[in-house]
Chain A
Amino acid sequence: MTNARTSLAAAALLCIVVAPLAAQPSAERPPPRTPDGKVSLDGIWVATGAIMLFEGQEAFAAARAADEAAGRPPGNTGETPPYKPEAEARRQYYLERQGLDDPMARCLLTGVPRINFRPLPFEIVQLPDRVIMLYEIHHAFRIIPTDGRPHPEDAEPSYLGESVGRWEGDTLVVDVRHFNDDTWLTGVGTIHTEDLRVTERYTRDSYDTIRYEVTMEDPNVLTRPWTIRETFRLRPDERIREYECIESNEDLLRFERLLEGHATREAP
């Protein structure tokens, strides 16, 4: 009898606790928290631009409308990157060549932040001392320590750089350094040098969304720090699949042929 009463009470309590959560639209659900009290970034996410490919124009428009209503900035404002004249000339050169020189087309690892804007999902696994990002594109990953350790002393320049994170309230701030210069920042021709420093800010502002703000600093090519934004959307029914780039990459040969046929001017 006591057991039955306890079960009944537990069930009633469960209803009280769970029912409002279930009834609440997920957009109004608060972001979940980890046992240590931090907002959890756990989940499979995709940049808003990818919604166009995953679900079509209507869903994309709805996502953007939801962002606007929530005061989230659009992912791209059409702003021209603040390049110094020589670097801008180089960007224009790559644009004229229609992106034939894109390192990504050669299946090289896509750098930060560009990897976050690809139209393929990535999973965030948040642990007490580090955050792990698992990207479908290239099956790439980042391990971001958040235990207070500094950047490694022996870091060599790399495609994804070396990431070190820290929490500022509910925002994960990631400082990325030690890049090579074989990646583009966002779009065609957005070059950088090995002096690039990237600061990313991930804020899960609702159950379904992460506000992403990234600032790129490279005094060799940029006139000032360049900040862009994006909203990542939770994809609860998604799983990270395999995306292998080299297998049948005809573009290597095709681009070589096209480049030969392009009697373009010398790179500035």
Chain B
Amino acid sequence: MHRFAVLLVLAAGVFETRFASAHHSFAAVFDGEQALTLTGEVVGIEWTNPHFHFSIDVKDEAGSVTRWRFEGYPPNMLVRQGWRRDVTLTPGATVTVEGWAAREEPNLGAARWVTFADGRKLAAGPPAGTGGR
């Protein structure tokens, strides 16, 4: 147990500078323990700094729809990952998002990967644990 705790502390230290976030500590808003994968229809895209956001409508088996909003890289990093504004992600498209849920805010997530209908998968945001503890 003690060794595990030490490992955790070490991991936190390593994440801190190596996988540093550009803007804020991941843990300030999101929970790296709450991984999620959601598929839905894109209903909004905000190509803004210091994060881009997009929303998808996720339908459950009973047919009820929940709108999820995701946060990701700023435009400078998205472009480096192969994204283009108004081209890569478009309203009406169906995408699968892998990421993590916010600790407190409902239906908000940090997007790590987005998979498009043609199978292409692009990084949308940093890994969990970045920018701090």
Contacts and interface: CB of A to CB of B under 8 A. Distances in A.
A248 B48 contact: yes
Q: How large is the interface on A (under 10, 10 to 19, 20 to 34, 35 or more residues)?
A: 35 or more
A52 to B, nearest CB: 5
Secondary structure at the B interface, as helix, strand, loop or mixed, is loop
B105 interface: yes
A6 B69 CA distance: 68
B133 A188 contact: yes
Given A53-B77, A78-B13, A95 B133 contact: yes
A64 B39 CA distance: 35
Nearest to A97: B28
Contacts of A98: 25, 27-28, 103, 132-133
Nearest to A54: B80
B13 A79 contact: yes
A258 B28 contact: yes
Interface stretch (B14-22, B58-66, B83-91, B92-100): B14-22
A120 interface: yes
Contacts of B127: 52
Contact of A102 (B10, B24, B48, B105): B24
Contacts of B123: 53, 56
Nearest to A49: B18
B23 interface: yes
A33 interface: no
Given A102-B132, A247-B49, A118 B18 contact: no
B28 A187 contact: no
A251 interface: yes
A246 to B, nearest CB: 8
Given A78-B10, A95-B132, A98-B25, 14 more contacts: A49-B17, A53-B77, A76-B13, A98-B133, A107-B50, A118-B20, A187-B13, A187-B16, A187-B17, A245-B23, A248-B48, A248-B50, A248-B53, A249-B50
Interface of B: 9-10, 13-14, 16-25, 27-29, 46, 48-51, 53, 74, 76-77, 79-80, 103-105, 123, 126-127, 131-133
Interface of A: 47-50, 52-54, 56, 60, 75-80, 95, 98-100, 102, 104-105, 107, 117-120, 136-137, 186-188, 228, 230, 241-251, 254-255, 258, 261
The 5 closest A-B pairs by CB, nearest first: A99-B25, A49-B18, A105-B24, A248-B48, A78-B13
